[in-house]
Structure 1
C-alpha cells in the first residue's frame, strides 16, 4: 500500500498464459539405497529434487519441461524472478501507532 493509506485492501491478480510455457512436470522417479547414489542421477540439463527418507533410502524425482503449464512465483522479494510481490501492513492491517515503521512482509508466502 502507498505510504499513508493504511486501509485493508483485497488484492486481485490476473494470470494470463505466458508466451512460452515455463512449467515443469515429473518425468522419472529413482529410489536409491544411499544418499551418495543420488549424485550419479543429477544432470546439468535437467531439474531434480532429492528426498532423503532414511539412511538407506533416497528418492530422486527428475522434472522435464511442460508445454501446457505456466508457473508464477509469489513472494516477498522485489527481485525480477518474483511475478507478484506480497506485503502486509503493520499489525495485520490495524492502524500503526508509529508511522515510521515500514510494513512487514508476509513470510508464509515466501
Structure 2
C-alpha cells in the first residue's frame, strides 16, 4: 500500500511538472503565442514591402519605357520647364508667412532645340 501511494505521488508530481513546462516553460503556450504574433507582424511587414517593391518596379519600367514619365519627374522634382513655357508658382493665401509672397513667373531660356 505504501509503494502504491508513493508511486501515485511521483506520478502526480511528474504530471504537475509536465503541465508547468507545457504552459510556462521553454516552448510553452506563452512562447508559442508570442512567436505567432511575431510571425503575423512579419507577414504584414513583408506584404507592405512587397507592395512597395511592386510600385518601385512599375516606376522603373515606366521610366525605362517612356519619355512622359521622365518629363513628369523632371517637372515635379526639378522644376524644369520646356522652352517657351511660363512657370507659375501659386502659393496658398490662407497661410500667414513672415515675408510677403507673390506669384512667381519665369520663362525658360531659349536653347535652340
**So what's the TM-score if we normalise by structure 2?**
0.20
Higher strand share: 1
